[in-house]
Amino acid sequence: MAKFGDQTIEQVRERADIVEIIGSHVRLRRSGRNFMGLCPFHNEKTPSFSVNPERGFFHCFGCGAGGTVFNFVMKVEGLSFPEAVRSLARRYGIRLPEQDESGAVSTERNELFRANQVAAEFFFHVLWNTPDGATAREYLKSRGVSPDTARAFMLGYAPARPASLARALEKRGLAERGLKLGLLKRDGTGASYDAFRARVMFPIRDAQGRVVAFGGRVLEDRQPKYLNSPESPLYSKARTLYGIYEARQAIAHRDRAIVVEGYFDVIALWQAGFRETVASCGTSLTAEQLRTLGRYSRNVMACFDGDEAGRKASLRALEVFLEAGLLGRGIFVPQGFDPDTLVGKRGSAAMEEFIEGAELLIDYFLREQAREARGSVEARARAAERVAAMLRLVANPFEMDLLARKAADALGVGEDTLRRAARGRAASSNRAVSRPAGATPALSAGDAASKAEFGLVALALFRPELRAELGARCAACDFADESLGALFEEACGLAPHESYEALMAERLAPEQQGRLSELAVAPLLDNAETAARMAGDFIAALERRRRRREIEEKKRALSEARDGSDPAHAQAVIALKRAPKGNDAAGK
């Protein structure tokens, strides 16, 4: 992914008129210092969408969406942050110096992309413009793939002749890149030949539309049925999703993503109107793939077979979803069908019915554990242990709270006991579980300390003159929300004119960006004196929370010590009780 310096990002931000950009999607009218309009991200009749041109932020007071001009383009067009920078730069005629991690121009990487593009165009030409492609065209027709859909996915055909692509790449000086990408191989004499032959070709594109790899399917009954590109500098199976380029805008627009297994599943659902569909690339679904989808929508659903094997697969997938900071839903298609054949035989209405009936994977997991807990006391205890282990992976505290209640009721165990077991390992290591990217804030929006955390981040971002003082008086460890604490620390270290847009776009979940944007479009932070006073209030709120937690910890420790189960712990608590209480009183 290209990296852009602060100067470049600042140049794009200054040239990109946020009112003009948003105004091309929303009818805006001036209202005081801001512009107002109907939110493009949810249905509303009364305008609640506000744009502040001075600070360069938008915020919807209805659905909570918000951020900078980059965030708006990311959400509307389904782009990553670097892609949004590039899109705006093109619009305003700004030339971007793309650099790799070392700062050197990445010519090798560009040449690899060029080799893949040449290969994709070669396969596409063979499919649609040569006699070699006739059988493949008939095959696609028999699978129900229309020519328009096939062209949208840039499908092609690799001819049976052994060195057709090899010659095309050699003419362009790209043979070595073809070998590196697995497009070509060498025979015993050192001559290059095509790795893909007599196969329908599926170009695998990244979110920017660049070809990173290929999948090839035979037309007759021979093995291997599918042949995929090997890992390369451009391609990692664990991080790549087939169809993400074609699906990203639909995912952002419909606020949902559907994950299936195969290329034809993606194509069939896309053609049937489910354009928010992607597939894992010949591997089990990974947390990296889910985190990618989580940037576009947190409502991610995976398709599973409705039989016993499919149900077990959904339970294995649950852990991966939780690792990615998502709960995830399961779409269970009838036994004997896959998404491709389901829409082909029963139509899109049937598929939509199964999608609407998708259930949370963790709900199914809890139901299964409750079923197994109906036997002996030992069975119930083992089920509770499994549930506690799974709850440890739930990063969102609100979801954790609701699920703990539900699980305790389902298993017939004490809720407090289940919660202690779920928190046990994290507490024993004396650190909070790291919150995956995209997880929601750690405290309620109505909690004073939670508001203070967002307020301090906003001050560090929007009031550069306060950064040194804020950094001296507060640290990341004072934050309950680890991602906000890390962002606060980085923001305090920014020079006065350094760009913060990349930090916001890459470090914060959409709902967190929305809470910051609410402060950005409001006049509270415009006055320097008011901002400084608010900083003191926010820091005091975090200090009060810390004091309260110390008191609660002492009370809890005392309660446990009274059980007499840990004499050493009891002695430590006695020492705590004898400690001066002046600080405790100040925190009440």
The enclosing domain of 153 has a CATH number of 3.90.980.10
Mean pLDDT, range 113-118, rounded to an integer: 95
Helix or strand (DSSP H, E) at 561: helix 528-562
Could you say which of 363, 381, 413 is where a domain stops? 363
pTM beyond 0.85: no
Highest mean pLDDT of the ranges 90-104, 115-129, 279-293, 527-541: 115-129
| Residues 129 and 81 both lie in one domain | no
Nearest to 295 by CA among 489, 488, 473, 512: 512
pLDDT over 60 (residue 480): yes
| Residues 186 and 252 both lie in one domain | no
pLDDT over 90 (residue 126): yes
pLDDT of residue 284: 82
Tokens of 507: 């470090």
pLDDT of residue 246: 92
Q: What is the pLDDT of residues 373-431, one digit of tens each?
A: 887 888 888 888 999 988 888 877 788 888 888 888 888 888 888 888 887 644 433 33
Sheet holding 257-260, edge to edge: 241-242, 277-280, 257-260, 300-305, 329-333, 359-360
User: How many domains would you assign to the chain?
Assistant: 4
Mean pLDDT, range 85-102, rounded to an integer: 74
- β 329-333/300-305 pair status: parallel
pLDDT of residue 247: 92
* Residue 494, SS3 per DSSP: coil
345 found inside a domain? yes
Nearest to 468 by CA among 488, 492, 490: 492
Of the ranges 109-118, 345-354, 521-530, 563-572, which one carries the lowest mean pLDDT score?
A: 563-572
pLDDT of residue 441: 33
Question: For residues 301 and 413, is the Cβ–Cβ distance under 8 A?
Answer: no
pLDDT of residue 566: 54
Q: How far apart are CA 411 and CA 394, in angstroms?
A: 18
| Residues 359 and 380 both lie in one domain | no
Helix or strand (DSSP H, E) at 330: strand 329-333
Mean pLDDT, range 276-295, rounded to an integer: 86
Mean pLDDT, range 133-146, rounded to an integer: 96
568 found inside a domain? no
Residues 6+ apart with CB under 8 A from 413: 380, 384
pLDDT over 90 (residue 204): yes
| Residues 181 and 295 both lie in one domain | no
* Residue 172, SS3 per DSSP: coil
| Residues 20 and 133 both lie in one domain | no
128 found inside a domain? yes
The one-letter code for the residue type at 390 is M
pLDDT of residue 577: 54
| Residues 83 and 131 both lie in one domain | no
How many residues are listed for the chain in this entry?
588
Q: How far apart are CA 18 and CA 22, in angstroms?
A: 6
CATH of the domain at 331: 3.40.1360.10
The domain in which residue 58 lies consists of 6-91
| Residues 375 and 329 both lie in one domain | no
443 found inside a domain? no
Sheet holding 34-37, edge to edge: 29-31, 34-37, 49-52, 57-60, 66-68
Q: How far apart are CA 290 and CA 496, in angstroms?
A: 36
Mean pLDDT, range 233-257, rounded to an integer: 89
pLDDT of residue 427: 40
The percent of residues in the chain predicted with pLDDT above 70, rounded, is 88
Of the ranges 232-241, 249-258, 294-303, 434-443, which one carries the lowest mean pLDDT score?
A: 434-443
pLDDT over 50 (residue 572): yes
pLDDT of residue 101: 44
pLDDT of residue 586: 37
Q: How far apart are CA 541 and CA 536, in angstroms?
A: 9
Nearest to 526 by CA among 62, 72, 69, 52: 52
| Residues 211 and 265 both lie in one domain | no
Mean pLDDT, range 33-62, rounded to an integer: 88
296 found inside a domain? yes
| Residues 299 and 331 both lie in one domain | yes
112 found inside a domain? yes
Helix or strand (DSSP H, E) at 31: strand 29-31
Could you say which of 25, 57, 91 is where a domain stops? 91
456 found inside a domain? no
| Residues 247 and 167 both lie in one domain | no
| Residues 112 and 223 both lie in one domain | yes
| C-alpha count within 13 angstroms, C-beta hemisphere, residue 440 | 14
pLDDT over 60 (residue 573): no
DSSP string for 40-92: TTS--SS--EEEETTTTEEEETTT--EEEHHHHHHHHHT--HHHHHHHHHHHT
**Mean residue pLDDT across the chain:** 83
Dihedral class, residue 367 (left if φ above 0, else alpha if ψ from -120 to 50, else beta): alpha
Mean pLDDT, range 573-581, rounded to an integer: 55
Tokens of 346: 């029963």
| Residues 248 and 358 both lie in one domain | yes
Could you give the C-alpha distances from 299 to 291, 295, 328, 353, in angstroms and in order? Answer: 12, 10, 7, 17
Of the ranges 148-157, 194-203, 306-315, which one carries the lowest mean pLDDT score?
A: 306-315
Could you say which of 428, 443, 474 is where a domain stops? 428
Q: How far apart are CA 122 and CA 144, in angstroms?
A: 24
CA 435 to chain CA mean position, Å = 13
415 found inside a domain? yes
pLDDT of residue 580: 52
Residues 6+ apart with CB under 8 A from 569: 557, 560, 561
pLDDT band per the 50, 70, 90 thresholds, residue 307: confident
pLDDT band per the 50, 70, 90 thresholds, residue 173: very high
The secondary structure of 104-130, three-state, reads CCCHHHHHHHHHHHHHHHHHHHHHHHC
